[in-house]
Amino acid sequence: MNATTPPPVPDYGAPAPIPATQLLTPAQVEFFHAHGYLAVDRVMPLDEIPRVRAVYDRLFNEDRSRTEGDLYNLTGTKEQGRREAVAQILQPGKYAPELLVTQLVANVKAMMQQLLGPECRMVGDHAINKPPRNAAATPWHQDEAYWNPAKEYSGLSVWVPLQPATKLNGCMYFVPGSHRLEVIPHQPIGNDPKVPGLEVVPGAFDFGSAVACELPAGGATFHLERTLHYTPSNQSDDYRRAYIIVGTRYERPRAVPRRFEWQERQAAARR
Ligand code: NI
């Protein structure tokens, strides 16, 4: 058990306290709906990047004892006293509310509403930190495979690299048009149900049409809940820091129930 009580979940959906300074163009909105993803070179002021990065690094280092309850090894099992192959923090805004009053978040909230309409609200954030010279990729998946199978969703994720994102350090790759698929079969990474991360069952899909989205620091990719995506391993000499913002237009009970047996296997392994 963690000695410290985790802080309460912040009101992610609250209106941004500062106005947006950047918006998407109509052509970008159109591209997103046609292909299920979008890459944008800049969503935050350049001078904000080092400030956000300093908060981010603090959460993964000095603040580890505070964030422990929400700190996971995305691509492997969690082991006491061992650094994660790919560390992720769920809801970093809980531990660093200053992340939520940035121009970054104000701009992304406005952009998410351009893409999915005024009902779209930020519902959470997430941080994935890949160490330098690290072999672990984040394998192909659809975000909806992680979510509650009893519900249907309309939502998107916004992935913001805090240093340039390149093929070498693990930028985002997407399969254009894959947002029109159903949720395809997934399994826990490496088929080990103790691993929290998921991957498309090997051989279940041909990823030959995937595109890489290299970005400058402070750019972003946007993708829908079923768009297939992946990031390769980080072969650079620096951390590959990504801050992720999740937005939802609606989530509601599904008319036709379904099961995600990969989640059931993970739940059984945790018990
Ligand atoms: Ni994802």
Q: Which helix H or strand E contains 29, and what residues bound it?
A: helix 26-35
Mean pLDDT across 151-171: 96
- Residue 4 has a CB neighbour count (10 Å cut-off) of 10
Percent of the chain predicted with pLDDT > 90: 79
Cα 125 to ligand 1 centroid, rounded to whole Å = 12
173-186 tens-digit pLDDT: 999 999 999 999 99
CA 140 to ligand 1 center in whole angstroms: 8
| Domains delineated in the chain | 26-184+207-259 (2.60.120.620)
Q: Provide mean pLDDT across the span 217-236.
A: 97
Check pLDDT > 90 for residue 106: yes
pLDDT band at 1 (very low <50, low <70, confident <90, very high): very low
| Per-residue model confidence (pLDDT) at position 257 | 86
CA of 7 to the centre of ligand 1 (A): 25
Kindly tell me the sign of the dihedral angle through the C-alpha atoms of 208, 214, 218, 219: negative
Closest CA to 235 of 133, 96, 105: 133
Ligand 1 centroid to residue 3 C-alpha, Å: 31
* SS3 (DSSP) at 40: strand
- pTM (2 d.p.): 0.92
Q: Ligand 1 centroid vs 142 CA: distance in angstroms?
A: 6
For all residues of the chain together, what is the average pLDDT?
A: 92
What is the distance, to the nearest Å, from the Cα of residue 24 to the centroid of all Cα atoms in its chain? Answer: 20
* Span 129-143, average pLDDT: 90
pLDDT of residue 65: 72
C-alpha 208 – ligand 1 centre gap (Å): 19
pLDDT confidence band for 14 (50 / 70 / 90): very high
Using the mean position of ligand 1's atoms as its centre, give its distance from the Cα of residue 80 in Å.
26
Residue 189: count of CB within 10 angstroms of its CB: 20
The residue that leads in pLDDT, 74 or 221, is: 221
Q: Which residue has the tokens 């591209």?
A: 31
List, for residues 47-73, the tens digit of each pLDDT value: 999 999 999 999 988 777 777 767 766
Cα–Cα separations (whole angstroms), residue 210 to 25, 84, 177, 198, 201: 24, 28, 10, 18, 17
Given the structure tokens 């991360």, which residue do they identify? 197
Q: How far is the CA of 241 from the centre of ligand 1 (A)?
A: 14
pLDDT of residue 135: 79
1-5, 28-32, 48-52, 229-233: least confident range: 1-5
**Ligand 1 centroid from CA 102, angstroms:** 23
Q: Residue 234 carries which DSSP code?
A: B
pLDDT of residue 196: 87
What pLDDT, on the 0 to 100 scale, is given for residue 7? 86
pLDDT in tens, 111-124: 999 999 999 999 99
| 141 alpha carbon – ligand 1 mean position (Å) | 6
Q: Which pLDDT does position 82 carry in this prediction?
A: 59
Give the Cα separation of 259 and 271 in Å (integer).
19
